[in-house]
Chains A and B, each alone.
Chain A
């Protein structure tokens, strides 16, 4: 195969994959705009009625607020737990990294459904608010995302020198970290925060099983609507998808904005 032909084949494959993965999403979107679409190939008509109905319902706002708070708290806890450790591991003690690697496979060996079993066995009878346990557990399960994004932020620059100069100039370690390190890794921190927030915002398994559906977040609401009102559920699914697309767009922009200078330093180092 000539390189040109193989590029054409590659484009074809990616286009096929794209259609395959996007079809369910596109169909759901069309469904959310259709007056009714049952047992026909095309919808009967188009309308915005379902959107105004869902957005006007008081439940909708309450659900969004709950998921938003869950996402925010989780992001803060994940950052507090991981920022210092990833900084320390990268700058002072790279050996720690091999021990941290177990965290990246954690969601595969102990997925949510397994973790929640242990959490219920341990905390069901204890007088600790379950919501605290929930936030901590979601933070733990989002750590691989947080870790990888933060770890990438430390590639390619001498943070140790920066940090130690700030210490010599009389800053406390915490102050030096906030003033000197954070501004230099802010793209990585932002990416890590967005990924953590998104995963907590759409959490289902832990929230549903640990709190028994009493704390209705986005996905739990979506599941309830799915069983009772298909149109409303398709609207919620579409809104959720637009939210994910928006986050992805921000991530792409951050990467494109920050990757250009980064690349040149890398290539410079190679030469």
Chain B
């Protein structure tokens, strides 16, 4: 018992100090009015102020589109990765890992060089006498930016799943007379689907929580839930920490629910298998 306590003490202390206590305080603060009494005023503001609902809509739109597109590319990419030689696989996984840690300020800056007002893309469009069609600081530009870290992340999550699929299954089913389409629908799809759902929830949650890339790319001109929270914490005169706590509480609750549901889909499948 004593050693057990010693083993868990550092981690336990860390979790209490910088996770449990702050999150508890944050939830309590979200229910406090300006004079400190209990109220739902903050929550009312979140749903009734147009600027705030716009942040929620933007976040949902960018995250949904970015995670769906990235998921599709990641499925194709992870499949392609399983067909390569083992040594190449390891190297590529490290490269995908690296490119997902390039997210944030460096990514935003690179995209501005590429697609910004004085960037190469615009120069190319002008040279070819084509109209300016694409604005990197916009909703669609931000969505594009998200795919640069969501795709590698999706591949890293999906690759182990695809790698586990047994090639013998295909032989067996074709010996038994199954057509490739039937095999895909009845064997591969049911095995892989729960994992795809889980990866989708993770990509979606990751996009919803993205602050650095959005902020570095658009400043505060495009408002999403994370950049709004950033302004509410950091904004000098307009700072309103209790309201930031309300947004953060809502965010944590919804994301925990979504990720938990995504996890359950695969968990129940695993239990059936066992």
A complexed with B: yes
Q: Please list the residues of chain A having a beta carbon within 8 angstroms of any beta carbon in chain B.
A: 6-7, 9-11, 13-14, 17-18, 20-25, 27-28, 31, 37-41, 77, 80-82, 84-85, 87-88, 105-124, 133, 136-137, 139-140, 173, 198-199, 202, 204-205, 209, 212, 219, 222-223, 226, 230, 233-234, 237, 240-241, 244-245, 247-248, 251-252, 255-256, 259
Point out the residues of chain B lying under 8 angstroms from A117, CB to CB. 26, 229, 233, 241, 244-245, 247-248
Contact status B241-A121, CB under 8 Å = yes
A113 to chain B, nearest CB (A): 4
Does B177 reach chain A (CB closer than 8 Å)?
no
Which chain B residues numbered 158 to 213 have a C-beta less than 8 Å away from chain A?
Answer: 202, 205-206, 209-212
Q: Which residue of B lies closest to A15 (CB)?
A: B80
Q: Please list the residues of chain B having a beta carbon within 8 angstroms of any beta carbon in chain A.
A: 3-4, 6-8, 10-11, 14-15, 17-19, 21-23, 25-26, 29, 73, 76-77, 79-84, 87, 90-92, 94-99, 101-102, 104-114, 118, 120, 122-124, 126-127, 148, 151-152, 202, 205-206, 209-212, 216, 226, 229-230, 233-234, 241-242, 244-245, 247-248, 251-252, 255-256, 259, 263
Contact status B109-A233, CB under 8 Å = yes
Contact status B248-A118, CB under 8 Å = yes
Main secondary structure of the interface of B (DSSP, over half): helix
Contact of A244 among B87, B98, B112, B259 (CB under 8 A): B98
Point out the residues of chain B lying under 8 angstroms from A259, CB to CB. 90
Q: Which residue of B lies closest to A195 (CB)?
A: B97
Q: Which residue of B lies closest to A212 (CB)?
A: B234
B215 to chain A, nearest CB (A): 9
Point out the residues of chain A lying under 8 angstroms from B22, CB to CB. 115, 118-119, 121-123
Point out the residues of chain B lying under 8 angstroms from A37, CB to CB. 113, 120
Q: A28-B109, A114-B248, A122-B25 are in contact. List 13 more A-B contacts (CB 8 A).
A: A11-B84, A39-B123, A81-B10, A85-B7, A85-B11, A118-B22, A118-B25, A119-B22, A121-B29, A205-B211, A234-B113, A237-B110, A256-B87
Contact status A111-B211, CB under 8 Å = yes
B39 to chain A, nearest CB (A): 16
Instruction: Report the separation of the CA atoms of residues A230 and B234 in the bound assembly, to the nearest whole angstrom.
Output: 25
Contact of B113 among A31, A82, A108, A255 (CB under 8 A): A31
Contact status A27-B110, CB under 8 Å = yes
User: Please, could you name 5 A-B residue pairs with CB atoms under 8 Å apart, sorted by A?
Assistant: A13-B76, A24-B110, A117-B229, A202-B101, A222-B109
